[in-house]
Structure 1
Amino acid sequence: MKQYIVLFICLSLFNILPSTAQNDDQESYIQCEDTCRHVHGIDLSHYQGEVFWENVGANSKMAYVYLKATEGSTHIDETYERNIELAHRYGLKVGSYHFFRPKTDLTKQLENFISQCRPGDQDLIPMIDIESTGGLKTDEFCDSLFKFLDLVEKAYRQKPLLYTYTNFYNKHLKGKIDDYKLMIAQYSDEKPQLADDRDYTMWQYTAKGRINGINAYVDKSRFMGRHSMREIRFKHF
């Protein structure tokens, strides 16, 4: 009887091991940024919950953080003020981003953003998160976006960084935002390939990153090629 029990346990372990190995492979990819030579960072919002910044700041590989400040004309991220204060305190370079709503009043969106994203608090240029056309046709969407980007540039006296996905860029923005630096999101082990082969500054490569001090998944990004943080420093006039 004992022999049958031992055999059963061995077979059970054999069946479990491949699954465990697969999970280890996935986890090792998610964490690969911690051992490569590129400059890495994260972006955060209220979705990550409470952040223990002393632990985040102790991670020497995470050099910067983009914090969600606002969305549309009225939404303010509830964790923004605390996060920006503590991110500075624990040594990260900080930037702020606004989630763009194409059908929402542009002036009110700008007012909402500048009420939170104050120049004196910024190490990195503002970032505009572009993920939706809001149901508009591409021409209408682009008209709204470009007008908003002009407002942002005039307010901060510098062009913002633009964040979007590979497919969204290829479908709606290809060849239309060449004057802007880009952070491209593509969650895979292959670098994004834009349809017009244009250069981009940063790559957000996972939405399931892990880092000490944050219990939830974290979006992680890195600079591409010879690009560096110097290119997105906030200019204080």
Structure 2
Amino acid sequence: MVLNGIDIASYQSGMNTGTISADFIILKATEGTGYINPTWRSQADKALAAGKKIGFYHFQRGGNPVAEADYFVKTVKPYIGRAILVLDYEASDAPGTGGAKQWLDRVYATTGVRPLIYTSTSWENSRDFSAIAAANYGLWIAQYNNYNVVSGYQPRDLYGHVNHWKNIAMFQYTSSGRLGGWGGNLDFDVFYGDRAAWYRYAAVNGKVAAPVAKPAVTKGVHFRVPNGFTPESGTFVNGNTEIMTRLHTASVHDKEGGYLPSHGTFAYDSKKRIGDIMWVHHMFGDNDVYLPTGDKYGAWGTTRKR
């Protein structure tokens, strides 16, 4: 099984990451020790609310690798354990592979998450990555055959080979991808694994924080309206994506409660808009369950009031 997704930076700041067609979205978070992508967090939250998997990358410059690693970790700390972490190793002033390994080692030591390294086939073939591969840091490889427009995900085989890894974790196969809902080119990526494998890459010290996908159950519901929510009895019918429910509070940072599958239904007793996201609520046993149903750009399914 594979997952299809995109990686984005501030160039795609206007993208609705909740509705764009992607199993995962990897966002640029930081660069060097002085730049933070201004929209990374809001776009990450929308992607999480819509049930997508996320990752963050740091664009390495020529500064101190440990300082750059600490800058990245401080920025993305609230998402550690739920996102894969990546070193983007391609800049003309980037250090040698020893400096790249210093960054990877520091992130691993401070977070417990073993990062991936992103680089091109030309760099992987021409530089000595043996120590990085031996330390079990996964490879995200980039290689384009041409710059022709690719409409929709069309994963292909890598042209050429890699010298230091037996397996590739992820492959960026074009920078000219096109998807509905976005007017410009996109980087298309294929991840060689399923949802559970993705979460293993995000795991802290091998402990997977996120659950394996499962339907959100709505049977056996009794109602209790949370403070601040407006009473409304209805059923939300999901669209073509999966949406992660949350337990305890209406926040994408709270405990994950399972997925509402595509075209699944969710009975609710109340609703509330928090920021850009519309949340609905129901009780399952003694647990409060919250579901994000859309953002300011539109709903992710349909609502039937009772």
One fold, TM greater than 0.5? yes
Tell me: CA distance 1:155–1:64, structure 2 relative to 1, closer, same or farther (3 Å).
same
Paired position in structure 1 for 2:301 = none
- Whole-Å Cα distance in 2 between the matches of residues 197 and 118 of structure 1? 29
1:77 aligns with 2:44: no
User: In the TM superposition, what are the counterparts of 1:23-38 in structure 2 within 5 Å?
Assistant: 38=2
Q: Do residues 53 (structure 1) and 13 (structure 2) align?
A: no
In structure 2, relative to structure 1, the CA distance for the partners of 1:196 and 1:135 (3 Å cut) is closer
Tell me the distance in 1 between the aligned counterparts of 2:80 and 2:43: 12
SS in 2 for 1:87: helix
Change in 2 beyond 3 A, CA 1:157/1:196: closer
Q: Which residue of 1 aligns with 2:93?
A: 134
In the alignment, structure 1 residue 208 sits paired with structure 2 residue 170: no
- Structure 1: gaps spanning 5 or more residues: 1-36
User: Is the Cα–Cα contact under 8 Å of residues 161 and 232 in structure 1 kept in the other structure?
Assistant: no
Change (3 A) 1:197 1:180: closer
- State whether residues 41 and 65 of structure 1, in contact with CA within 8 Å, keep that contact through their aligned partners in structure 2: yes
Residue by residue, what CA displacement relative to the aligned partner does 1:190-237 show, whole Å, maximum 9, x if unpaired?
Answer: 41411357321111111111112222211111123xx33433422256
Q: Is 1:96 aligned to residue 33 of structure 2?
A: no
Structure 1 match to 2:187: 219
Q: Distance in 2 between matches of 1:196 and 1:85?
A: 35
Which of the residues 160, 168, 177 maps onto 2:123?
A: 168
**Structure with the higher fraction of residues in helix conformation:** 1
Q: Are positions 1:230 and 2:196 aligned together?
A: yes
Aligned residues: 190
Out of 106, 114, 128, which is 2:73 matched to?
114
Contact 2:81 2:113 in 1 (8 A): no
After TM superposition, the structure 1 = structure 2 runs for residues 174-213 of structure 1, keeping only pairs within 5 Å, are 174-178=129-133, 179-188=136-145, 190-192=157-159, 193-196=161-164, 198-213=166-181
RMSD (CA atoms): 2.2
- Aligned equivalents of 1:71, 1:196: Cα separation in 2: 26
**Paired residue secondary structure (2:27):** strand
Q: Distance in 2 between matches of 1:208 and 1:190?
A: 17
Contact 2:139 2:169 in 1 (8 A): yes
Tell whether 2:54 aligns with 1:123. Answer: no
The 2-side partners of 1:204 and 1:186 are apart by 6
Q: Return closer, same or farther for 1:197/1:161 CA change in 2, 3 Å cut-off.
A: closer
Q: Which residue matches 1:3?
A: none
Residues 1:63 and 2:23 aligned together: yes
Q: Which residue of the partner structure matches residue 273 of structure 2? A: none
Check conservation: 1:96, 1:122, Cα contact below 8 A.
Answer: no
Give the unaligned 5+ runs of structure 2.
146-155, 208-306
In 1, the alpha carbon distance for the partners of 2:80 and 2:98 equals 30
> For residue 144 of structure 1, what is the aligned residue in structure 2?
99
Query: What do residues 81-128 of structure 1 show as CA deviations (whole Å, max 9, x unaligned)?
Result: 221111112221111111112x20223212321222124365232111
Q: Which structure is higher in RCO with an 8 Å CA cutoff and minimum separation 6?
A: 1
Counterpart Cα distance in 1 of 2:94 and 2:178? 34
Deviations 1:118-170 (A, max 9, x none): 2436523211111135275xxxx122122221111111112101111111111
Offset at residue 78 of structure 1 (A): 1.5
CA contact (8 A) 2:4 2:24 kept: yes
Tell me, yes or no, if the aligned pair for 1:119 and 1:156 is still in contact at 8 Å.
no
Task: Rate the CA distance shift 1:223–1:120 in 2: closer, same or farther, 3 A.
Answer: closer
Inter-partner Cα distance in structure 2 for 1:129 and 1:135: 10
Counterpart residue type for residue 73 of structure 2:
I
TM-score under structure 2 normalisation? 0.57
Residues of 1 paired with 2:30 and 2:82: CA distance?
18
Q: 2:64 aligns with which of 101, 105, 127?
A: 105
